[in-house]
Amino acid sequence: MQFDPRRTLLLYAGSSHHELAEEVAKHLGVVLGEVDIHRFSNGDIYTRFLTSVRGADAFVLQTHAEPVNEHIMETLIMIDGLKRASARRITAVLPFFPYSRQDKKHLAREPISAKLIADLLHTAGADRAMSVDLHAGQIQGFFDIPFDHLTAHPLLLEYLRNEIGNDIVFTAPDAGRVGVADRLAKKIGGPLAVVHKRRDPRVHNEVVAHHVVGDVEGKRCFLVDDMIDTGGTIVAAAQALMDQGAAEVYCGATHAVLSGPAVQRLQDSPIKKVIVTNTLPIPPHKWFDKLAVVSVGPIIADAVRAVFADESVSALFDGEN
């Protein structure tokens, strides 16, 4: 893609989610750039760009699926390679931001790993970064370079309208998601409910759901979260809603981490449909009957196009990102 004969957009994919990168490239009308990525016998990562990148606007698309740490290192090495090859501007496109749950200290002597990731990207040579639905909006402030926060919420809302309808109670599975659930509720003029949750900061991936705030009796509820990891939060919240007399429970999340017992928990839960996006690859063994996947390829492509053309990214989301 060329908007100016002196400027060229180059899109490169890391090894974590080639299918999404191909989709973004298709929407942009470009071909993925050629890059050699392989591992030495001791596990060291090697990358080399096979064509000139001098003076180009280079975008590195890498989501951080398992193995997370390998994909982080691969991203940094690719960015370093582009910097040393004289790319004009380097943008890290990270559909799923790694270590996003470690955005603050809960206990003494803990790290703030999300800040560390931001520093590493900057040090490696990234001039800009973008991601989809951060776990905490404050992560944007960890960057000393421009950061574009994309959101998949319009995709989830469109799926709801087309497949389920507007007669639904938007529900936050905890206090941290109230703002998101409230914005979605306002979009269609629907009511809001909240599931009060208590989590022990010393015990990871374990949730105790308590009472529901809001009227859900006899109604269809839609639980919205940024990610589903082991499924504990969503399943506990869904059970709390059913215990309060909800007629049906659906859930939606941008990032389908689906680790550990998540698939079995969700399949066995009272949730009728689990709607996620493809910010992370979903291998065949993680697919189950209740799962529906919508693609973030078009919104990432639109954001890349806007950055390349020096246009507003927030305008793509009516300023609600």
Q: How far apart are CA 145 and CA 151, in angstroms?
A: 19
Beta bridge partners of 11: 59
Please, what's the b/e burial string for 143-152 (b: 16 or more CB within 10 A of its CB; e: otherwise)?
beeebbbbbb
If you classify domain 9-151+297-317 with CATH, what class do you get? alpha beta
Q: Assign residue 104 a region (left: φ > 0; alpha: ψ between -120 and 50; beta: otherwise).
A: beta
The domain 153-294 having CATH identifier 3.40.50.2020: the answer here is yes
* Domain ranges within the chain, ordered by starting residue: 9-151+297-317, 153-294
pLDDT at 4: 54
Residue showing tokens 């793509």 = 316
Quick one: CA dihedral 62, 64, 65, 67, positive or negative? positive
Catalytic residue numbers read 197
Paired tokens of 89: 């501007």
Q: Which residues of the chain are modeled with pLDDT < 70?
A: 1-6, 197-210
Do 9-151+297-317 and 153-294 show the same overall fold?
yes
Q: What is the pTM of this model?
A: 0.92
Model pLDDT, residue 189: 84
